[in-house]
Structures are given as C-alpha cells and as structure tokens.
Amino acid sequence: MKKINLGVLVSGNGSNLQSIIDHIERSELDADIKIVISNNASAFALERAKKNHIPFIVIEHAEFPDRDQFDQKMVDILRFHSVDLVILAGFMRIISPFFLRAYPQRILNIHPALLPAFPGLHGQKKALDYGVKFSGCTVHFVDEGMDTGPIIIQAVVPVYEGDTEDSLSQRILREEHRIYPLAIQLYAEDRLTIIGRKVQIRCAFESKEISLHNPPITDINHLKESF
Ligand code: GRF
C-alpha cells in the first residue's frame, strides 16, 4: 500500500508526534513524516524529530506581518515536502481559511476533551472545573471553527475526585497516543468519508453495546445498602 506523507505541526512537548513516530516504526501506521514544523524554537518536539532523523523547521509567527503570510509559508513548506495530510499535534496557532483552502479536508487535530464539550484551550481544566465524571479526547477534521470539525474517533476516560489538571491530562494523553495514529491509519487506508458533520468509517467494527458509569453503579448500590 502507498504510504501517505505527513506534515506534523507542533508547538510543545510533542508526545503525540512521538506516538506517531513509534507507530510508524512498529509498522502500525503506513505513513512517512516528511516534515515537522514548529512555531516555537524551544519545543521539545524538535528534539524528538532530530533524534529520529526527521526533517524539521522552525517558523516563528512573530516574524510575519499577519496570519495569512505565516500560513502561506507553512503551506509552501508542506507542498515542497509533498505532504498529503497535515497533523496538528499540540500546535498552538489557529489555522487560517487560506490554509484550510490549501488542504481541504486534509488537516487533522486532536483535542483533549470529548467535543463538543470544552473546546479551545485548557480542555482538561474546564472538564475538571465543570465536574464531569468522564472526559477524554477527540480526533477530528479541522474546519474554520474552533474544534468544530467532523469527528473521526473519541476515547473516554473517567474523572476521579482526587484528580488534578495534570493527572487527568496524563490519563487523557495515554488515550491520545492510541487514537491519533489509528485515525491517521484510517485516513491512509482511504476509509473516511465526510458526510455533512459526520465521518463514515468504511468497514469499522461497531463496538459492543456498553455503558460506563463513574462511580460504578455497583458501588452506589453497595453504599445504599450500608446506610
Ligand atoms: C495534547 O493534549 C493535545 O490534545 C493538545 O495539545 C497537547 C499536545 O501534547 N492539542 P503533545 O505536545 O503532543 O505532548
């Protein structure tokens, strides 16, 4: 099967970049990372690219007069590297309509909450503050809105009473590292079709009917009996 060419955009730690690299190395993802682009010269993600001999470039947004020119530069670089699919992996800039037109339905993002809940920055903290019992992460196509594009896959994690923003983020990240490479592989296999807001996945198994409860229902019954 033909591998797809990825361009990965990062701003920070790059643990999602690492998980994509690891999946490619284990032949669980039929893709090549052609270029890593960071808007932040001190992003640890760049160390990961370097260590894995992946070409990378820093484009500081402050050096461009406006967002369109910054995005134009990124699009030029992505095209130069024959990138088929753009992966936002902790990239802390909003993608302009110009960029979207250059890569229509070919930009993916991962968000650390169960969209449409808690879009934007600090999804984990917003979930904690709201008091939800479950949160998770979402891989979606990027459209012109803020985390509003069609959803490909989501993973759910419980939120515990003692959670901090950090502990919840770590639990969510573990799932991010599983579902992002999977979503990219589904794209690589040409199994995703966008119909309106919905993404149809060809030949996907439907998960068995399950319900999750947090706290578990059995515990609640147990508590009741002990009063
Ligand atoms: C992740 O939580 C992701 O959901 C969000 O930014 C964070 C990036 O983490 N978009 P990393 O740089 O991949 O470790």
Residue that the structure tokens 């995005």 belong to:
71
Residues of the chain falling short of pLDDT 70: 1, 219-227
The predicted pLDDT at position 207 comes to: 80
Decide if 1-104 and 110-221 have a common fold: yes
136: Cβ below 6 Å to ligand 1? no
Dist. CA 120 → ligand 1 center (Å): 12
In short, whether 16's Cβ falls inside 6 Å of ligand 1 is: yes
The catalytically annotated residue of 23, 111, 140, 177 is 111
* Other C-beta atoms lying within 10 Å of the C-beta of residue 221: 10
Tokens of 3: 């591998």
List pLDDT tens digits, range 102-143: 999 999 999 999 999 999 999 999 999 999 999 999 999 999
| CATH superfamily name and code, 1-104 | Formyl transferase, N-terminal domain (3.40.50.170)
Instruction: Establish whether residue 15 lines the binding site of ligand 1, counting it when its CB lies within 6 angstroms of any ligand atom.
Output: yes
pLDDT of residue 218: 75
**Domain extent listing, the chain:** 1-104, 110-221
Instruction: For residue 197, report the distance from its CA to the centre of ligand 1, in Å.
Output: 24
Q: Which ligand 1 atom sits nearest the alpha carbon of residue 11?
A: 12
CATH 3.40.50.170 for the 110-221 domain, yes or no: yes
* pLDDT score recorded for residue 82: 98
The whole-number pLDDT of residue 221 equals 61
Cβ of residue 176 lying under 6 Å from some atom of ligand 1: yes
DSSP assignment of 18-78 equals: HHHHHHHHTTSS-EEEEEEEES-TT-HHHHHHHHTT--EEE--GGGSSSHHHHHHHHHHHH
Q: Which helix (H) or strand (E) holds 126?
A: helix 123-130
